Amino acid sequence: MKITKAVIPAAGLGTRVLPATKVMPKEMFPIVDKPAIQYIVEEAAASGITDILIITNRGKGYIEDHFDRAPLLEQILENDGKDDLLASFQHLHKLVNIQYIRQIETKGLGHAISKAKTFVGNEPFAVLYGDDVVVGGNAPATKELIDAYGEYGKGVIGIKPVSRKMISSYSCVKIENLHDNIYKCTDMIEKPQTDDEIFSLYSILGRCVLPPEIFDILENTKPGAKNEIQLTDAMKVLANSYGMTAIEYTGTRYDIGNKFGIMKAAIEVGVEHPEIGAELRDYIKEFAKTL
Ligand code: UTP
């Protein structure tokens, strides 16, 4: 079955990057010259997604405005012959249909995803976390997950290795290699605290493809870590019963929800940027000598 729908949860409060997120959603933070959520929407479109639901919250109106037309600005750029600048955002309107729904109460990622039930209907769908940008790789990360769904017919999680120190702030998965970067996943836990709970040093980071059965599971999922309804707790039920597939996607993931992730993205994407890359490289080399 072709997967054409995606959900982007973007209703989190972004408290790890306050005060920047007091007014401005973290999803709108730029990586060089493009907001994080535009990278994510472009990745979805490049993966065959045609319809996106963005889950928002109070104060996230900038996201809707960003994907809307801007008639006055477009007219000025057109008059000035600035076609490249126009194209940098105008192409999005042709790529995908975007809808929005408000989460209203910030009760966790699982709760946010449950708001997508009507939009999704009875099809498998992709989830792209609104603060996780994936750049590069052999193919767009979501496409890699969708292909794995096609291969095994089970829900898919995107995974990456994380350090022993960090794993208790993330999730942790029990996996067994199938081939290359593809694994069978039979269990998972959100924010593991004891050695017994640490199945591996792999975490679910930013991308999943889920069957519609997840909505019934979410309805029965009680608040877990941080007293929030955790998507990991619902996916654990899937993993324990039907099994899931895990793929270590090949792109590099940047967490725009934390300070270090924002800086890393700016530097690593910046040095590859056609306009400023060379100048930034020279600057970093010079600056490094002073450290
Ligand atoms: P995070 O835990 O990384 O985001 O959620 P957060 O809640 O904004 O983080 P802090 O701790 O306050 O800094 C992962 C993803 O789930 C979304 C977030 O927007 C992010 O994309 N999310 C989280 C929701 O949509 N709703 C929620 O209730 C919680």
Ligand 1 center to residue 147 CA distance, Å? 27
Residue nearest to atom 25 of ligand 1 (CA): 11
Report d(CA 184, CA 212) in Å as an integer.
Answer: 20
Confidence of residue 185 (pLDDT cuts 50, 70, 90): very high
Mean pLDDT, the chain, integer: 95
246 contacts: CB under 8 Å, gap ≥ 6: 156, 157, 158, 159, 173, 175, 182, 183, 184, 185, 202, 204
pLDDT at 146: 98
Check if 262 has its Cβ closer than 6 Å to any atom of ligand 1. Answer: no
Residue 129 has pLDDT above 90, yes or no: yes
Token couple for 36: 């994080």
Check if 129 has its Cβ closer than 6 Å to any atom of ligand 1. Answer: yes
Of ligand 1's listed atoms, the one at least distance from the Cα of 16 is 13
Check if 229 has its Cβ closer than 6 Å to any atom of ligand 1. Answer: no
Q: What is the percent of the chain where pLDDT is above 90?
A: 92
Ligand 1 center to residue 15 CA distance, Å? 9
pLDDT at 237: 97
Check if 107 has its Cβ closer than 6 Å to any atom of ligand 1. Answer: yes
Tell me which residue of 188, 252, 211, 57 sits closest to 126, measured CA to CA.
211
Q: pLDDT tens across 232-260, in order?
A: 999 999 999 999 999 999 999 999 999 99
Check if 34 has its Cβ closer than 6 Å to any atom of ligand 1. Answer: no
Q: How many helices (H) and strands (E) does the chain have?
A: 12, 13
Residue 196 has pLDDT above 90, yes or no: no
Residue 131 has pLDDT above 80, yes or no: yes
Q: pLDDT tens across 145-177, in order?
A: 999 999 999 999 999 999 998 899 999 999 999
Q: CB–CB of 85/77 below 8 Å? A: yes
Check if 158 has its Cβ closer than 6 Å to any atom of ligand 1. Answer: no
Token couple for 1: 């079955």
Check if 130 has its Cβ closer than 6 Å to any atom of ligand 1. Answer: yes
Check if 261 has its Cβ closer than 6 Å to any atom of ligand 1. Answer: no
Residue 182, classed as helix, strand or coil, is strand
Check if 108 has its Cβ closer than 6 Å to any atom of ligand 1. Answer: yes
Print burial letters for 258-280: b (CB count within 10 Å at least 16), e (below 16). beebbebbbeebbbeeeeeeeeb
Print burial letters for 191-216: b (CB count within 10 Å at least 16), e (below 16). bbeeeeeebbebbbbbbbbbbebbbe
pLDDT at 1: 76
34 contacts: CB under 8 Å, gap ≥ 6: 88
Pocket probe for ligand 1: among 8, 13, 60, 191, the residue whose CB has the most ligand atoms within 8 Å is 13
Check if 103 has its Cβ closer than 6 Å to any atom of ligand 1. Answer: yes
Residue nearest to atom 28 of ligand 1 (CA): 108
Token couple for 70: 């801007």
DSSP state at residue 170? S
pLDDT at 229: 95
Token couple for 9: 């949860």
pLDDT at 92: 85
Residue nearest to atom 23 of ligand 1 (CA): 12
**Distance linking the first and last C-alpha atoms of the chain:** 53
Check if 232 has its Cβ closer than 6 Å to any atom of ligand 1. Answer: no
Q: pLDDT tens across 31-83, in order?
A: 999 999 999 999 999 999 999 999 999 989 999 999 999 999 999 999 999 99
Q: pLDDT tens across 92-119, in order?
A: 888 899 999 999 999 999 999 999 999 9
pLDDT at 190: 94
pLDDT at 135: 97
Report d(CA 120, CA 38) in Å as an integer.
Answer: 21
pLDDT at 90: 86
Check if 99 has its Cβ closer than 6 Å to any atom of ligand 1. Answer: no
Residue 11 has pLDDT above 80, yes or no: yes
Check if 170 has its Cβ closer than 6 Å to any atom of ligand 1. Answer: no
Pocket probe for ligand 1: among 17, 58, 63, 109, the residue whose CB has the most ligand atoms within 8 Å is 109
CA 74 to chain centre: 29
